[in-house]
Amino acid sequence: MNPHADPRRASPWLWRRCEKSLGSCSRGRFSTVLAAGIAGPVAWSRAVATRVLTVAVAVTPMAAIVLSGCVSSPRDEVISAKQFQDIVVPDGLNLVDSAHESHSNENASYRMGHFVYTGSTRREEAVTYVRQRMPQHSWVLVADDAVDENTNRLRFVRGYYSAEYKFTRMDGRMQMVVDYRTDYTSR
């Protein structure tokens, strides 16, 4: 770039913006700098850099606030599942509550939950434990099915709530899935 070229011709719009926002960048002062032949483009660059820096400082906090609410991927989310007090869980089983495996919702008299537990407990012992303990919480057993040699299903009701337990043995571990819901049609 020619150091003696008038930058107002190269970018008249930017020059007008510079004049309006920065008092130090007036035509007279800039012309004096150019006439003297002292670093015209440097003065122009300094004025533009000052303006860009001012805008960047003003915008950065807003961008940080906006971007802090963004999630990079649905797989990165962790949803915790509030366990209900009237659900029976055998010893040795742990709730899996990352990446949407388990979730729950409770509003007034409405409850919904899908809970996944895994552990090293034997399937037969877990089924027997749940069969014996659920009636102590006023649940009534309405279905007891052996789906196959590795899967059992129990269904309990209490008022307009229902809880379905599914016990599965897979890969040397036991998985228990509890589906809990409010069913107003059963009343």
Mean pLDDT for the chain overall = 74
CB 183 within 8 A of CB 163: no
Answer yes or no: do 60 and 99 share one domain: no
Answer yes or no: do 106 and 14 share one domain: no
Range of the domain at 19: 7-68
Query: Which H helix or E strand runs over 5?
Result: none
Using a pLDDT cut of 90, give the percent of the chain over it.
Answer: 26
- The whole-number average pLDDT for the span 145-151 is 87
Question: 133: domain CATH number?
Answer: 3.30.310
Answer yes or no: do 89 and 159 share one domain: yes
Q: Which residues of 29-56 are buried (b: 16+ CB within 10 A; e: fewer)?
A: ebeeebeeeeebeebbeebbeebeeeee
Question: In this predicted model, which residue has the larger pLDDT, 121 or 53?
Answer: 121
Name the DSSP class of 129: H
pTM over 0.75: no
So what's the pLDDT on residue 167? Answer: 95
Q: How confident is the model at residue 108 (pLDDT cuts 50, 70, 90)?
A: confident
Question: In this predicted model, which residue has the larger pLDDT, 97 or 88?
Answer: 88
| Tokens 């820096």 found at | 53
pLDDT higher than threshold 80 for residue 161: yes
| Tokens 């409770």 found at | 106
Overall domain count for the chain:
2
Answer yes or no: do 55 and 145 share one domain: no
pLDDT tens by residue, 7-37: 556 566 565 665 655 554 444 444 444 444 4
**Is position 2 within any domain?**
no
**Is position 80 within any domain?**
yes
**Is position 1 within any domain?**
no
